[in-house]
Structure 1
């Protein structure tokens, strides 16, 4: 059933009861709200969304008073009730939600520190999926508006973005600047929708196949790795360059360190399955490196 959005309290209560039955019958301890549509301060949904979350929290807690205990790595399954929120509270993608109130009426807030180039404000080029500065700016922002740090979970990506470079604008096949086509998103001409998501394991397979025509580079500004790779077009004997931006153990560790410095509740990846495709020896070794980066938060 879809949550009612018309202010009908009876329908809302029926929805909450049905969701509780669904989660409890499947031995889940709760659920996650992931509403990502645009909203402004005057919209009906601004207050209604908070009300829906609050009523759901009250009902779930009345049925399971011990359900506030969470396992951070599996928070989308085992946390009582989590709200998934944008990387910053400051009107990202038109999502002007009442984040402070949502934090007060829910158990956890999962900060999606990825897809941060959904609205590119400057030059339309490929860039980092989860720059270090958005981690800092986003978490600082939630704390600035008064969100309880003990409710914040830093969500980080186990995937990256693959961009096709506009060859007519490329300075060279190995250029660090990859102009991308204009793909509008919510009022902005350029967005990461010009690229496509690639799991970490799939990104590493490009390296294993030696398709890359540059080494894995490190961008100092965003504290993120990236590389170029190339395919030859059989139709017109030209080369097409792609650029991949992703996170590795080094870039993730830096974000975990800042999360630990702020003493927030936890960190959690999206998604676990992104690390594994073939379970080869090298793939498992790389996955272990990614997992070991969590030590920078927990130790």
Structure 2
């Protein structure tokens, strides 16, 4: 997959994503369970001690995932019935993800909330999935009515799904820091008490740049650990926190490069801050590794951020790329283990090279193997 988007991942995630089952699958479902064994259409009942969650955005690669490392797949794309059957045969949950068309503006409308919840529950049931992942990232003011109603909404979703089936999983994606990051002033302590676990999206940490407008790491280890500690300092149990990590990087066109490889970038505001990572564009890990190989690029290591980067001239403009790789991710996976977190999550599992090209296959295997750092600490 070589998906490249000029918009940050948070914008993609916060889009109003409508999940659905393909027309062919609907016909199968109307005839009953589409799996060879009827029990595969039942929700997974066991709860793993640790979670390894993959966000899925492309339904073409799933047969090549490293399934031995996964406990849950969160679908941000169509759900093929054969994927569901295969996942359930391996004890892996399939959870429907995204905002699914619900707007924060509707929080004050109890009928709209109820209708949305019923529709999503029906969708999960009809596709034989295992629950829902809430990814509401709209700004909400601290102390506002919307803040209280969002917490109520999360509780209503949880109650509806657990009443339908106690084995359904309900989770919420939160920002890398609980301190009103990007204007998201959510009652995260209450969220943690309600849902099965929170996925801390420890990426796009440059979404609001308060210092010099320069390119930097997407998920630097010190900042990532700071965010996790802030959640723990609120009294949230580590067993309710899953560390989300990026399997992608950013390409920043430099408007000026100064000594020390300091790349000044264009000021692109985001939610009240004049500089953000929106000045760059996302590239998945597979395409970054391909660029490095084809152009014989030397990758450098920033020991402050514990992250790789490189500079590359494209059409007379110097670009600086920041990304994560197995060494940088292993450090953060180990950090998650040291804090006894519930698990790991990745945006997204389709960012790797699942082709049969030898170098790409090696890169992909190393990314999956890096997960072992979480379990070896």
- Aligned partner of 2:348 in structure 1 is 271
Q: In the alignment, what sits opposite 2:312?
A: 229
Quick one: which of 137, 149, 152 aligns to 2:241? 152
Deviates more, 1:110-119 or 1:24-33: 24-33
User: Considering only aligned residues, what root-mean-square deviation do their CA atoms show, in Å?
Assistant: 1.5
* 2:155 alignment partner in structure 1: 54
User: What whole-Å deviation, never above 9, does each CA across 1:34-71 have from its counterpart, x for those lacking one?
Assistant: 1111112232210111111101111111111123xxxx
Q: Counterpart of 1:3?
A: 102
Counterpart CA distance in 2 for 1:21 and 1:106 is 19
TM-score under structure 2 length normalisation = 0.70
TM-aligned CA deviation for residue 241 of structure 1: 1.0
Give yes or no for contact 1:211–1:230 (8 Å, CA) kept in 2. no
The 8 Å contact of residues 310 and 321 in structure 2, kept in 1 or not, is answered as yes
Given candidates 337, 346, 355, the residue that maps to 1:260 is 337
Match of 1:76 in 2: none
Residue 33 of structure 1 deviates from its aligned partner by 0.9
* TM-score normalised by L of structure 1: 0.88
Separation (CA, whole Å) in 1 of partners of 2:263 and 2:113: 48
Counterpart position of 1:77: none
Q: Report matched runs for 1:12-161 at 5 Å.
A: 12-67=113-168, 80-161=169-250
The gaps in structure 1 that reach 5 residues or longer are 68-79, 234-238
> For residue 218 of structure 1, what is the aligned residue in structure 2?
301
Aligned counterpart, 2:257:
170
Quote how far apart the aligned CAs of 1:151 are: 1.2
Segments of 4+ in structure 1 off by > 4 A?
none
Q: Report if the CA contact (8 A) 2:107-2:153 is conserved.
A: no
Alpha-carbon separation, structure 2, partners of 1:54 and 1:3: 15
What is the SS of the residue equivalent to 1:268? strand
Mapped partners of 2:319, 2:101: distance in 1: 40
Q: Is the 8 A contact 1:211 1:229 kept in 2?
A: no
Q: Deviations over 1:206-226 (max 9, x none)?
A: 1111163xx211101110000
Q: String of CA shifts for 1:179-237, please: whole Å, max 9, x gaps.
A: 1111111111111000001000111111111163xx21110111000001112x4xxxx
8 Å contact from structure 1 (residues 226, 244) kept in 2: yes
Query: How many residues are matched?
Result: 275
1:196 to 270, 276, 281: 281
- Residue of structure 2 in register with 1:70 after alignment: none
Between the aligned partners of 1:10 and 1:126, the Cα distance in structure 2 is: 45
Is 1:207 the counterpart of 2:284? The answer is no
How many Å separate the matches in 2 of 1:16 and 1:241? 48
Q: Bigger shift: 7-16 or 192-201? A: 7-16
Q: Secondary structure at the match of 1:178?
A: strand
Query: Which of the pair has the greater relative contact order for Cα pairs under 8 Å at 6+ separation?
Result: 2
